[in-house]
Amino acid sequence: QKEVEQNSGPLSVPEGAIASLNCTYSDRGSQSFFWYRQYSGKSPELIMFIYSNGDKEDGRFTAQLNKASQYVSLLIRDSQPSDSATYLCAVDSGYALNFGKGTSLLVTP
């Protein structure tokens, strides 16, 4: 069973702070990693994907990947109340994506 683990939270951060979301995975052969955001009652929407070790930045979001440690993270800078949602880490299984349970983020004004 290929596992994707996330802390369910809730993670609470004040507006303007950095939110750090973490994810570990069990399949060492995984090559592609994705972060999705899901608002309650809605489908997931893609935030970022990362394939290579290191950091990848896109606006306020930075994804970090460490394949040796089987660890991927998402940093959200200058967090806004509108960022409050569940963040899902997804790992490519070769055909479908395997999702973690998600981390609930709450950004307080």
Partner 1 sequence: GAVVSQHPSWVICKSGTSVKIECRSLDFQATTMFWYRQFPKQSLMLMATSNEGSKATYEQGVEKDKFLINHASLTLSTLTVTSAHPEDSSFYICSARRSDTQNTEAFFGQGTRLTVV
In the chain, the amino acid numbered 36 is: Y
Q: Which stretch binds partner 1 (CB under 8 A): 17-25, 27-35, 64-72, 77-85?
A: 27-35
Look at residue 100 and give its three-state secondary structure. coil
State yes or no: residue 49 binds partner 1 (CB under 8 A): yes
| Contact positions with partner 1 (CB under 8 A) in 58-87 | none
Distance CA 45, CA 32 (A): 16
| H or E, element range at 61 | strand 61-66
User: Is 26 a residue that touches partner 1 (CB under 8 A)?
Assistant: no
**Tokens at 90, concatenated:** 């997804």
CB nearer partner 1, residue 16 or residue 59: 59
Contact positions toward partner 1, by CB under 8 A?
Answer: 31-32, 34, 41-46, 49, 51, 88, 90, 92, 95-102
